[in-house]
A and B are shown apart, each in its own frame.
Chain A
């Protein structure tokens, strides 16, 4: 045994906020070591540090008894590490074979000429071993999401690394592919490789892992042998307390239909999607990555079009050509990509919260936005949601995730909205702020709003929503009421195996 990989006091800050704080733990050689934690716990950041994508602000990494200074991807590869990242890191304009061997072209050829035939053959060998049925000469941009994920895995394995990090490799895979991956991990373990495995899915972790490390809010919580843990214990370690079921929360859903979607179809993306949203209801949308739920919601909101189907808002048919029209009708949309598509990073907190409401503000001389009125709006929302910031002129990028999210919600609350579409409203937010956002959702429901929320975390979905529709491959495969909620049921529907 021995401590093959020793992670010592690793810290990393983004915009002055700790993503990782003095994290230390050991990983044994030849083991499958699971790293678990909620969204924003710092798992991915830690893996990116090991992979050389980020540099740690402090701490050290010792591999095989030697302290390693990982400053670049090349350094990381030099330490025998290869990483399968959560986001796809394939180059769309290159073929599958080119992607697999992108950093490892056979070097012995004259002038670096690529022997295409040989490369394709080698790629095919790896793909066959993994039972991936993809043509090595196909362009990556033509692959499906799960095929891309499998190619990503093939790429990492082709490097023949000693340490393989898998950052949520199963998020986009179906059950059969997950089973195949489990076999591959078993095989690698037999070969003596060390695997660091990150996943939300408890079942996989218990199937494969020898050891489990839990992180919470960027801090180390505990490391234990998997055999000594139960699922409930892991969840408790991850969340910091037992999962609460807000069963005593009154349900505000009424009979009035607020939004009705009929047979919405966009070819190859989603097909005949139909559902209803009632006043005061919190409707959850479940499904695996790439199941099409975000696309359906974006299409309703007018961010992109659909081929056929109808949308009714309070009984009236509507079709929004752009988001501006949807907003006029009282629909708002909270993105899951807060950093790139939510905040305006170089604008102040105040300007960020009023960006949508200024259009309807009464202006001096017909055009002049009065500073006092703007400040008033910020104050109103600050008090309503307990947003914390130093000054109204402070740039929003310096705020914590939770406060940024509150500002984004405040943007919508300043308008007269009826329907809130929210993608991952609690992503990258600490536990305290998360609770505040839950109670905000309940409050909105009580006031008669309709809320559609996408949660990838099943626990959250079950806790918060009144009802859920489950997507798989662009179709709705199931609809569940609060009484019928349980994780297994949702997962079965999400895998496309409706009862």
Chain B
């Protein structure tokens, strides 16, 4: 008997249904510009969600990415005025890397739970982002840079291309490299990892560095799309990224998850948000909606288990009655 794994395919089914309905019902949804903006939106958070997939598979969380994004954006935009685009991008990436490294070292080497550590960096980095330019926004004017956020190649938005390429690379790393295997093993059983000779601290630290780098890439796209870096950007970024990952079926308990599903979930999340906008739903209601979606995604395991239990029990009853 083949068991259909509802969890694995639920996201893509929901996405298809949603898009089907919206294509049929709403004219402004199916315009190229709108679809492009959905994909851009999906990419800017989705790229960070890729890194977050690694972190959650490992059984941890990173709350600091929103602040990290703002901080990296400020550094990048600040450098761009004086140094030009390439050094600025390098500085932005370096900022992400260093932030990730700090998180990683505290979490892995001092064995502090990730959520509290990243809560600390969440506030500190946000404060640094404000301090960097006295709470002022930095405007970016370099057209080549802005192109990263707004341009398209063959009709496909550049951010989405970056997203897909990164997703492909990270999927290979997760599934077919020693490092990826170790990340998944960590989410399964840290004890078993230690006995198997896996350097758990290094693996954990590296995942947070990867998270930092993904956030830096997100920061590039967000900054380029808005043509400015502001210290208050991406306030609920960690929330959105975690929702995408969990919506993609990656288990909160760690150990299993799929990059592909995170990509689909990112598009789904951006689409839902887009639909709510199209129907002029109030921003606060949108947040409440997203909260409920996350709660539903979190409870998915429970619901599945509950229904499996019911099914098994009813089967048993029928067997007994026969």
> A358 to B197, Cβ gap below 8 A?
no
B22 is an interface residue with CB less than 8 A from chain A: no
> B191 to A337, Cβ gap below 8 A?
yes
15 A/B residue pairs, CB under 8 Å, sorted by A: A303-B195, A322-B194, A323-B194, A327-B196, A335-B192, A342-B189, A344-B184, A345-B188, A345-B189, A345-B255, A347-B184, A347-B188, A355-B185, A359-B178, A367-B178
> A346 to B195, Cβ gap below 8 A?
no
**Binary A-proximity of B278-322 (CB < 8 A = 1, otherwise 0):** 000000000000000000000000000000000000001000000
**Which residues from chain B sit less than 8 Å from chain A, CB to CB?**
172, 176-178, 181, 184-185, 187-189, 191-192, 194-199, 251, 255-256, 316
A326 is an interface residue with CB less than 8 A from chain B: yes
Q: Point out the residues of chain A lying under 8 angstroms from B184, CB to CB.
A: 344, 347, 351
Q: Point out the residues of chain A lying under 8 angstroms from B178, CB to CB.
A: 358-359, 367, 369
Which 8 A-B pairs give the minimum distances between C-beta atoms? A344-B188, A341-B191, A324-B197, A346-B255, A327-B197, A323-B197, A346-B256, A369-B176
Q: Give the distance to chain A from B315, nearest Cβ to Cβ, in Å.
A: 12
> A322 to B191, Cβ gap below 8 A?
no
A406 is an interface residue with CB less than 8 A from chain B: no
Partner of B177, one of A327, A343, A367: A367
A333 is an interface residue with CB less than 8 A from chain B: yes
> A342 to B256, Cβ gap below 8 A?
no
**Which residues from chain A sit less than 8 Å from chain B, CB to CB?**
58, 303, 322-328, 333, 335, 337, 340-347, 351, 355-356, 358-359, 363, 367-369, 371, 411
Q: Point out the residues of chain A lying under 8 angstroms from B194, CB to CB.
A: 303, 322-323, 341
Partner of B255, one of A323, A324, A344: A344
> A341 to B189, Cβ gap below 8 A?
yes
Closest to B320 in A: A58
> B196 to A346, Cβ gap below 8 A?
no
* Bound form: Cα–Cα A410–B234 in Å: 48
Q: Give the distance to chain A from B171, nearest Cβ to Cβ, in Å.
A: 12
Closest to A356 in B: B196
> A340 to B195, Cβ gap below 8 A?
no
Q: Point out the residues of chain A lying under 8 angstroms from B188, CB to CB.
A: 343-347
> A358 to B189, Cβ gap below 8 A?
no
* Bound form: Cα–Cα A202–B153 in Å: 79
Q: Point out the residues of chain A lying under 8 angstroms from B195, CB to CB.
A: 303, 323, 333, 335, 341-342
* Bound form: Cα–Cα A53–B310 in Å: 21
Contacts A324-B198, A358-B178 aside, 20 further interface pairs with beta carbons under 8 A come to: A322-B194, A323-B195, A327-B197, A335-B192, A341-B195, A343-B188, A343-B189, A343-B192, A344-B184, A344-B185, A345-B189, A346-B188, A346-B251, A347-B188, A347-B256, A355-B185, A356-B197, A363-B177, A369-B178, A371-B176
Q: Give the distance to chain B from A205, nearest Cβ to Cβ, in Å.
A: 34
Closest to A366 in B: B177
**From DSSP, what is the main secondary structure of chain A's interface residues?**
mixed
> A368 to B176, Cβ gap below 8 A?
yes
Q: Point out the residues of chain B lying under 8 angstroms from A345, CB to CB.
A: 188-189, 255
* Bound form: Cα–Cα A327–B184 in Å: 20
Closest to A360 in B: B178
> A351 to B191, Cβ gap below 8 A?
no
Q: Point out the residues of chain A lying under 8 angstroms from B197, CB to CB.
A: 322-328, 356
- B176, B184, B196, B199: most-surrounded residue (chain A CB, <10 A): B196
Q: Point out the residues of chain B lying under 8 angstroms from A303, CB to CB.
A: 194-195
Closest to A298 in B: B195
Q: Give the distance to chain A from B170, nearest Cβ to Cβ, in Å.
A: 13
Q: Point out the residues of chain B lying under 8 angstroms from A324, CB to CB.
A: 197-199
Q: Give the distance to chain B from A143, nearest Cβ to Cβ, in Å.
A: 24
Q: Point out the residues of chain B lying under 8 angstroms from A368, CB to CB.
A: 172, 176-177
Closest to B176 in A: A369
> A340 to B185, Cβ gap below 8 A?
no
* Bound form: Cα–Cα A343–B199 in Å: 17
Q: Give the distance to chain A from B44, nearest Cβ to Cβ, in Å.
A: 28
* Bound form: Cα–Cα A367–B179 in Å: 9
> B191 to A358, Cβ gap below 8 A?
no
* Bound form: Cα–Cα A58–B315 in Å: 14
> A411 to B196, Cβ gap below 8 A?
yes
Q: Point out the residues of chain B lying under 8 angstroms from A325, CB to CB.
A: 197
* Bound form: Cα–Cα A328–B199 in Å: 13
Closest to B253 in A: A346
